[in-house]
Amino acid sequence: MLKRHWRWAAVLGLAVLALATAQVYAAMTAKTMGRYGGWAYYSAEVDLPAGARTEIVAAVAGKRIRVVALMINANVAGTVTLESATTAISGDINLAATGGFVLPPVPEESARFYGWMDTAAGEALNATTVTCTIDGVLVFAVEQ
C-alpha cells in the first residue's frame, strides 16, 4: 500500500514540475502572467539603443519593480547597466560582440519567484548602454 502512495507522489511531483515549467515558458511568451504573493508578473521586449539611458518599465507610484528573469543580446561589444531611475542596481554587464547574458528565474515557491534586483519604490527600471544596442526579453513583477 505504501509503495502505491509513493508512485502517486512521484506522478504528482512530475505534474507540479511540468506546471512550473509551463508557467516559466508562459512568462517568456505572454505579456501578462498573473498575480502571486503580492506581485503582478509581466514580460516585455527589451530593445535598447546604443549609448543611451532607456526606460524599460515605467515607474508605478509607490511600488517597486522586480527583475525576475532577463535574456539580452548585444550587436557589438559593449556594456549595459540596469538602474532604478538613475541609480545603478546592477554592475556593468560586459557583453562581447553578438554576445548575450541570461538571468534565469529563481523559483521561490510553485507560483512565485525571487527577483534578481528591485527598483526603489516609485522609480522606473532603466538601462544604460555603452556602444552596443541590446535586444532581449525581460520578466518582471510590480509590487501590489
Among 27, 39, 35, smallest CA distance to 142 is for 39
Convert the pLDDT of each residue in 6-62 to its tens digit: 333 333 333 333 333 334 433 333 367 777 778 888 999 999 999 999 999 999 999
Residue ranges making up the domain that contains 68: 2-143
CATH number of the domain bearing residue 55: 2.60.120.340
pTM of the model: 0.75
Q: Measure the CA–CA gap between 63 and 77, rounded to whole angstroms.
A: 34
**What domain count does the chain have?**
1
Q: Are 85 and 120 in contact (CB under 8 A)?
A: yes
Which residue type sits at 113?
A: F
DSSP structural state of residue 2: H
Where residue 28 falls (left for φ over 0; alpha for ψ -120 to 50; beta otherwise) is: alpha
Give the pLDDT of residue 138. 95
**Residue 81: Cβ-neighbour burial (10 angstroms; 0-12, 13-18, 19+):** middle
Q: What is the mean pLDDT of the chain?
A: 79
Interval 99-108 mean pLDDT: 86
Taking residues 76-98, what's their average pLDDT? Answer: 96
pLDDT band at 113 (very low <50, low <70, confident <90, very high): low
